[in-house]
Structure 1
Amino acid sequence: MHLKELPNEIPETVFFYLIIRNFPRILTAADKSFKGLFSGVRYLGPVRASAERFYRHQDLEIGEVDHKGENLPMVINSLDARMKKNLSKWISDNFGFELELEASGLHYELKIKEEHDAKFHNISDMGFGYSQILPVIVSIWLETVGAVPRRHLGFTDANSRTLVIEQPELHLHPALQYRFGLAIAKVVSLATNFGFRIVIETHSSQMIEAIGESIRRGVIEDSDISIALFEKIK
C-alpha cells in the first residue's frame, strides 16, 4: 500500500495504533491534568453562615474560607497585623466599608464600619448581607492580593485556581451588588496573569451592568469575561 493510494485510511489506521500504544501515557497525562484542575477549585455556597455576635477563640492557623464561611473569624485571626490592615483597606477601597476582628477575652468579634460612620459595630447588628458577602470578599482577597499570592509560588495555568460562587448578591443592597461587580472586574484584571478564575452564578443585573461598565472603561477586556444566560424551556 502507498500513502497516495490510501490518503485517508493509512493515517487513520496509524493514528489508531499510536493511540493504543500510548494509551497508558495518555491516561496518566489526563489524570494529572484533571487532578491539577479540580484540586484548584474552591466553592462558596449560596447561603453562607449567619453572623454571630461572638466567636469562640481557637488557636488555629487556617488559610482558606470554608464553603459556608463558618471559619471566617479564624482565617482572619491567622493573618498578622499588617495583613489584617491590608485586608481592611482593600475592602474599604472596593466595597466602602472597613473590617475589624477584635479579641474580647476568649472570644472574637467581627466588626464593620461603613463609610461616613464614626465607629465600628458588631457584624450581627449590621444586617444579614454583610455575613453573606464577607466570606466571598475574603476568599477573593486571599487568592489574589492577600496572604499567599499564587504568582509568587510559581502558579501557572497548568495548576490554576478557580473560585466558584453561588449567588454572592444574596441580601445585598443593589448599590453594593454593583460595587461587587466592579471589584470582581478589578480582581480579574490583576489575576489573569497567574491563572485565577472566578465562576459566578447570579441573578443580579447590577453585577452584570458593573462588569459591562468595567469593559467600557477599559479595566478589563471583553475576552476576559464570558456570560451565559439560562432560560427554562418546555
Structure 2
Amino acid sequence: MSKFGPLAELLVDLRSVKDIEKEVQDFTRSIGIDAFSLGYVDPTKGGPIFLSNHPEIQFDEPGIYDEDPVSVLIRAADPKPFYWGEHTYKNHKRLFEIGCAHGIRSGLIVPVRPDGRKKNGRRMMISLDCDRPLDGTPQQITDRLAALNTFTLGLTGVVVALFDNRAELDIRLDNIEKDILKLIIARTPIHNIPYVLRPHRGHDVVKAKLASAAQKLGVTNAYTAAYLARQVGLIT
C-alpha cells in the first residue's frame, strides 16, 4: 500500500460507485491479484450493492452456499479476515472442484459487519480471487491479508457514508472523540494514542471514547468509524 500513500488520502475523494470500483481494482493489483468482488447490503435499505471485475459465477448446485465452508466463514456472527484454498475444502473436495472449474482456486476475503452482531445489520465483504494457489510464503500471504483488512475497514466507512442516509443518525462527537479519530486517520497505532493526545489520556479513556464514537456513528470498528467521520465531514 505504500505506493498509494496514506489510506486517508486515497479514500477521501471517493464519491461514486465508479470511484470505489477503481480504487478497489487498483488496490487489488497492488498486492498482485487481479480479480475482486465487493458486496454491501443494508437490509433496511433494499437490495445489495455488488461490484466485480470478473463475470458472475452461477453455481447450479442446490444448497451449495449452505454447505460451502467459505460461505460459512463469511456469514459468521463475528467474521474474521481469512485466506482460503484447497486446505479449506479438505472435507468438501467436490465443492473445491466446482470452484476450480470456474477458475477460482484460492483467495483472500475480509467480511465486515459494521453494526457488530446486530441481527439484520449491515454487511460488507471484499473478496480477492485467484485461478491458482496464492503466491508467496505464509508470512507474505498474512501480510497481504492484513493490508486488505485495513483497506476494507476504511472503505467500509466510505461505503456507509455514500449509500446510507446518515442524516438519520444523531451524531454529536465530542472534541476528544474527534481528536482520537483524527489520530487514527493519521495512522497512529491505537495503543500509542493515549501518549499522543494533548493532554494525555489513559488507555481506558481512549477505549471508552472509541466505543462511544463508533456507537454514535452506527458502527463497531474504530477504523470504520474514523473514515466514516472523515467522509461525512465530522473531522478534517
Q: Same fold (TM over 0.5)?
A: no
Q: Which has the larger radius of gyration?
A: 1
Q: TM-score, normalised by structure 1?
A: 0.25
